[in-house]
Amino acid sequence: MKKYSDNLLTLLLAAILAAGMFIAFLLNDNRHLHHIDHMYIISLLFIAFGLFVLKLYRDNENKKLTSVLSLVETIGSMGSFEWNSRDGKFYFSTLAASRLDLPPNRRVGMEEFLDKVAEHDRTAVSGAFLLDCSVNKEEINLTFETAENRRLIKLTAVPVIYREGYVSGIKGIMEDITEQVKIERERDMLFLLSRDGIAILDMDTYFKDVNGAYEAMTGYGRDELLKMSCLELTHKDDIPATVAMMKTLVETGYCDRFEKRCIRKDGTYINVQMNLILLPNGTIMITTRDISDIMEYQQKLRRNEQNLRQLFEVSPIPMCLTDGKGKPILLNKMFTDIFGYDIHDLNTSSAWWKLAFPNEQYRIISRERWKKYTVKIAAGETPQPIQATVTCKSGAKREIVFLYSVMEDVGIIAFYDITDRVAAENRLQEYISIVDDNVLILRTGNKAEILTVSNAFCRLSGYTREELIGKPAMILNHEDFLESVQPVIMETIYSGKPWSGEIKKVNKNGEEFWVQSVIQPVFENGIRMGFVSVSTDITDKKRIEVLSVTDKLTGIYNRIRLDEVLSTEYVRFKRHGLVYSLIMFDIDFFKKVNDTYGHLVGDEVLKSLAQLIKTSIRESDVFGRWGGEEFLIVCCGTDADGAYNLASKLRRKVELFEFPSVDRLTCSFGVAQIDAAGTDDMVKRADDALYRAKQGGRNRVEK
């Protein structure tokens, strides 16, 4: 029934009702028709009711898009757009327009839109709109790259079906996924480099991501894990210790070598050792290694002395049996393969220590730790295994975890090689150190008191970490920022939302600097614990922005800035009809000043004139050096008469001003008002008026 239009449905409905009324009339007024069954009327009424319901359904069908797009637009990171098939024009929301470097609040054609799409993606984007969606009425789901700033944009859209069944337009959303893709690629590389299981958790201990090693370790697939909390994989007896560890992690930012039992999907559990770190974005990275083999071997050796020889020989872990005095009596094959020593090299109880620990001081410390460890084992305790750096016969260094057990008078030592894991941990620590030294990170409590701060931030602000900890974060903000931007930031982050933007700050020496910041609330179990700020130093960028539009000699705007203002004001004039005028002036007989007093005095005259004019105009007026001794004033919101009056006032001020090292000078002024002819024509008219002022005797104002 969808092929019928709403108009046709309405006509059918009206026709059926009319037929019913006609039959009813015949039944009431024509006796010879009384034999007609009243069921005909009832049938016609049922058909009419069905068509009426169908019409309501089709009226509501095209309204679904509006609520969906409205919801998406409120998310904040996605922009919406509409395309009208009649004129082929797009309308982009402000956010969507900024993603494509298009001017906001203006309709653009398909060609202008495609110019913002990278050349290699234009065919696919054009085909999706003009064929797939407009003709075939299919949804659009694609990703393309922008032409200018090479951003990745994810676009989703659906056709808008008009009443007659044709596509009247397209509505959709677009999202900038550039940073997301970049982060995902870097994360994937880190995942691929590690043979250990790696998982990312949120502050509520729910999985955000896992690598393949973690999936294999737990037996769960990635999609299953993303719906779970890590506490669901924890043995019930280990949950209290895990919760306590998470609290320590939030306080310190890291936790090393935490051990617990992990429940696999098949119901079995494994012993794991984890290293955890709190990332700047408020998530937790966990590196997990299955140490079940070590624990299993230790327990089996204690429980089953009869199977010791078999386990000893086939063990993938280097193992050694010692007598009551600690002298090695038997080594397994893996021990010799890893360390290179045989039983003849270790013919005394002290030989192992001298060979494996050639540094005397380190040997003394390691041997003392070993003695304390073995005493606790003999007492029936289960102390933390010892980790040490062992020197092999080849001279190579290996990071080893020592596990010890005793059966009667025989000691059993297992050497678990964690060299690769330690190397990975060191790389991770290097990464953390790099972040600390190069990323501006500031963490505060709920009252905005500083809790932690990175070395990079200390270096930029000039404060030491000790000087900042406990102080309010506002002490770093510039007074201009405190009045204008800070109230907006506080309202945003205290409502649980992130804020991003530029912040003007002051260092310890009172010098200004600028940062681009993202401030994110940090939650634990649904409770806000504080805030984390990650920033980038943009001071040089700000300085370059100022220098690029400033005349070096006079300190006022240069021609680049004047051109920008003229262009902006003309757009406002065309769109809203806001008039503005132009005053062009120069110094009369300025060449004579240079010839008589020299160019240095001439430069001082230009600077003095610039300061005189700058202090004599409104803040809304834009004043700059047009070139040489010529200057320009853009009088925003002012017609030609107003500009003429201002120019006359300035002429008198210049005439009465005493310039350094020279007699009094005068200026000639030309005034023009914007019209439909455009900016270039207005500048020419002002220049012509200036020329007439010169021809009329100078020290005049013409328009």
Q: What angle do CA 627, 633, 639 make, to 5 degrees?
A: 140
Token pair belonging to 6:
């709403």
In whole numbers, what is the pLDDT of the chain averaged over residues?
A: 84
Query: Distance of CA 384 to CAs 213, 263, 426, 430, Å?
Result: 26, 22, 21, 26
Task: Give residue 640's pLDDT band: very low, low, confident or very high (50, 70, 90).
Answer: very high
Give the type of residue at 98: S
| 511-522 burial code (b ≥16 CB/10 A, e <16) | eebbbebebbbb
- Which residues lie below 8 Å from residue 378, measured CB to CB, with a gap of 6+? 406
pLDDT at 645: 95
pLDDT at 45: 59
- Which residues lie below 8 Å from residue 605, measured CB to CB, with a gap of 6+? 587, 590, 593, 659, 660, 662, 665
pTM of the model: 0.35
- Which residues lie below 8 Å from residue 38, measured CB to CB, with a gap of 6+? 27
Task: Give residue 6's pLDDT band: very low, low, confident or very high (50, 70, 90).
Answer: very low
Partners of 401 in the β-ladder: 387, 416
Asked whether the beta carbons of 500 and 519 are under 8 A apart, the reply is yes
Asked whether the beta carbons of 190 and 198 are under 8 A apart, the reply is yes
pLDDT digits 0-9 by tens, 72-121? 454 546 788 898 888 888 888 888 888 888 888 888 888 888 998 998 99
pLDDT at 52: 57
Q: What angle do CA 560, 566, 567 make, to 5 degrees?
A: 90
HEC profile of 586-650: EECCHHHHHHHHCHHHHHHHHHHHHHHHHCCCCCCCEEEEEECCEEEEEEECCCHHHHHHHHHHH
Mean pLDDT of 663-690: 93
pLDDT above 80: residue 309 = no
Distance between CA atoms of 691 and 689, rounded to whole angstroms? Answer: 5
CB atoms within 10 A of CB 127: 13
Asked whether the beta carbons of 530 and 446 are under 8 A apart, the reply is yes
Token pair belonging to 467:
């000087």
DSSP string, 452-485: EE-HHHHHHHS--HHHHTTSBGGGGB-HHHHHHT
Query: Distance of CA 119 to CAs 112, 145, 227, Å?
Result: 13, 9, 40
> Above pLDDT 90, what percent of the chain?
31
The DSSP letter of residue 556 is S
Distance between CA atoms of 668 and 693, rounded to whole angstroms? Answer: 6
DSSP string, 191-230: HHH-SSEEEEE-TTSBEEEE-HHHHHHH---HHHHTTSBG
Mean pLDDT of 377-389: 87
Distance between CA atoms of 399 and 380, rounded to whole angstroms? Answer: 26
> What φ, ψ does residue 522 adopt, rounded to 5°?
-115, 125
pLDDT digits 0-9 by tens, 242-288? 999 989 888 898 898 999 999 999 999 899 999 999 988 889 989 99
CB atoms within 10 A of CB 628: 11
Distance between CA atoms of 259 and 122, rounded to whole angstroms? Answer: 53
pLDDT at 19: 63
Q: What angle do CA 137, 142, 148 make, to 5 degrees?
A: 125
pLDDT digits 0-9 by tens, 190-205? 777 778 888 999 999 9
First and final C-alpha spacing in the chain: 71
pLDDT digits 0-9 by tens, 12-23? 656 666 665 655
Mean pLDDT of 143-158: 87
Give the type of residue at 23: I
Mean pLDDT of 232-248: 91
Contacts by 470-474, CB closer than 8 A, 24 or more apart: 472/447, 472/448, 473/442, 473/444, 473/448, 473/449, 473/533, 474/448
Give rounded-to-5 percent helix, strand, coil for the chain: 45, 25, 25
Mean pLDDT of 511-527: 89
